[in-house]
Amino acid sequence: MSEAKVTGVRGIDLAVRDLDSSARFYNAVWGLEEVRREQGVAYMRATGREHHVLALHEAPRSAFLGTRLATSDKTVVDALHARACGFGAVVLDAPHQMPSQAGGGYGFSFRSPDGLMQTVSCDVERHDDLIADATRPSKFSHVVVRVANFPTQRDFFVDLLGFKLSDETDGIDFLRCSPDHHSVALAKAQGPGLHHMAFELPNLDSLMRACGRVRSSGHDLEWGVGRHSGPGNNIFSFFVEPNGFACEYTTEMEQIDDATYPVRDARWWRENRPGGGPCAWRMATRRSENLMLARTGKLVEALNDGRA
Ligand SMILES: [Fe+2]
C-alpha cells in the first residue's frame, strides 16, 4: 500500500431537529463556539485552529451523518480518491476546491460501506487565533461508530484510508491515524450509527471544570469521571446531549509510537485488563441507563418518534 493516508479527524456532522436549541447547548454548555451558520447548518469550532469540529444540520430527524477526515496535501487527496474508486466505494465527487464548504479546502466525499458520508480534505481554512479558555474543548478527539458489517468497515478504514489498528477488544476495534491511540473506533453493534463522540480537554483539571459547567447547566454526568483501564488509557466523562447522542470529554489519550506499540487482541484484553473493570481508578463503575440508550441509538430514535 502506498503512504497516502488520513492524518486526522477534523470532526463530525450531525442532523438535529432543533438547530437553535442544539447550537445553544454546544455554545453555552459544551464550550464550542459557532463560527458560521448558513442554509440550516451551524458550524462549531473548538479552542484550537481547526475551522470547525462539529456541523449541526437542521433536519426532521436527528442522525449521525458522517465524518470529516484530514490529510496532508492535494497529492494525497488525489491518491486516496483513486484508491476509493478502486476499492469499490460509492464515490460522490472527484477531488475539487470546495468553496461552498465551510472552511473551503480541497477534497472529495464518498460513503463508507455502511452508507455514512466521509469527506477527505486538505488546505482547509484554519483560525489565526486560539481561544484562551482551558475549560473548553481544544479539538475533536475521536468518534466511535456502531457498524453492522464489521470486517468490511475495518478494511475500509485500514486498507483504503491508511488507519492502523491500535487495539481490539470483544466490543470495539480502536484505529489510529496520528499519535493519538484512537481517532476512530468501530463498535461491533447494530449500525450504522453514532456510539459516541469525544472532545479533548487540555488536562484533568480543565476536564473537571468543564464537567462542572455541564452539570451545573442541568445535565447529568452519565458515566465518569474515570480513566479507561483498557485501550487508550484516557480519562473519560460521558454526558447525553439534547438530541440523545452520547458525548464525551476526554484527556490524556495515550500517544503511540508506531515502531514500538504492540497491538493487543481481544483475548489479551480479557486476560490483562488492569483492575479488571472499565475504570483503572475503580471510581467510574456504573454507566447510566440513559447513556446505554444513547450509545445504542435507541434514545435518538425515541426522541425522533416523540417517545422520550
Ligand atoms: Fe471515547
Domain positions in the chain: 8-122, 139-304
In the reported structure, the alpha carbon of residue 237 is separated from the centroid of ligand 1 by a whole-number distance in angstroms of: 9
Instruction: Name the pLDDT band for 278 (thresholds 50, 70, 90).
Output: confident
The CATH number given to 8-122 is: 3.10.180.10
Long-range contacts at 111-116 (CB < 8 A, ≥ 24 apart): 112/66, 112/153, 112/156, 112/192, 113/89, 113/149, 113/152, 113/153, 113/156, 114/145, 114/147, 114/148, 114/149, 114/153, 114/191, 114/192, 115/90, 115/192, 116/64, 116/65, 116/66, 116/67, 116/145, 116/192
In the reported structure, the alpha carbon of residue 196 is separated from the centroid of ligand 1 by a whole-number distance in angstroms of: 7
Which class is 139-304 in CATH?
alpha beta
Instruction: Name the pLDDT band for 276 (thresholds 50, 70, 90).
Output: low
Q: Give the residue from 50, 55, 72 showing the smallest Cα distance to 177.
A: 72
What's the confidence (pLDDT) of residue 1? Answer: 45
In the reported structure, the alpha carbon of residue 141 is separated from the centroid of ligand 1 by a whole-number distance in angstroms of: 8
In the reported structure, the alpha carbon of residue 78 is separated from the centroid of ligand 1 by a whole-number distance in angstroms of: 31
What's the confidence (pLDDT) of residue 17? Answer: 97
What's the confidence (pLDDT) of residue 230? Answer: 86
Rounded to whole angstroms, how far apart are CA atoms 234 and 222? 17
The backbone torsions φ and ψ at residue 249, rounded to the nearest 5 degrees and listed phi first, read -100, 135
Beta-strand relationship, 54-58 and 8-16 = parallel
139-304 and 8-122 share a CATH fold: yes
Instruction: Name the pLDDT band for 275 (thresholds 50, 70, 90).
Output: low
Q: Which is higher by pLDDT, 100 or 26?
A: 26
What's the confidence (pLDDT) of residue 101? Answer: 86
What's the confidence (pLDDT) of residue 2? Answer: 56
Rounded to whole angstroms, how far apart are CA atoms 81 and 46? 28
Residues 142-194: pLDDT tens digits?
Answer: 999 999 888 889 999 999 999 999 999 999 999 999 999 999 999 998 889 99
The backbone torsions φ and ψ at residue 150, rounded to the nearest 5 degrees and listed phi first, read -60, -55
| Number of Cβ within a 10 Å radius of residue 43 | 23
The backbone torsions φ and ψ at residue 255, rounded to the nearest 5 degrees and listed phi first, read -100, 130
In whole numbers, what is the pLDDT of the chain averaged over residues? 95
In the reported structure, the alpha carbon of residue 39 is separated from the centroid of ligand 1 by a whole-number distance in angstroms of: 31
What's the mean pLDDT in 252-278? 89
How remote is the C-alpha of 208 from its chain's centroid? 20
In the reported structure, the alpha carbon of residue 115 is separated from the centroid of ligand 1 by a whole-number distance in angstroms of: 22
How remote is the C-alpha of 23 from its chain's centroid? 18
Alpha helices in the chain (DSSP H): 19-24, 74-87, 150-155, 204-216, 266-272, 289-295, 298-304
Which cell is 176 given? 489510529
In the reported structure, the alpha carbon of residue 228 is separated from the centroid of ligand 1 by a whole-number distance in angstroms of: 9
Q: Answer yes or no: pTM beyond 0.85.
A: yes
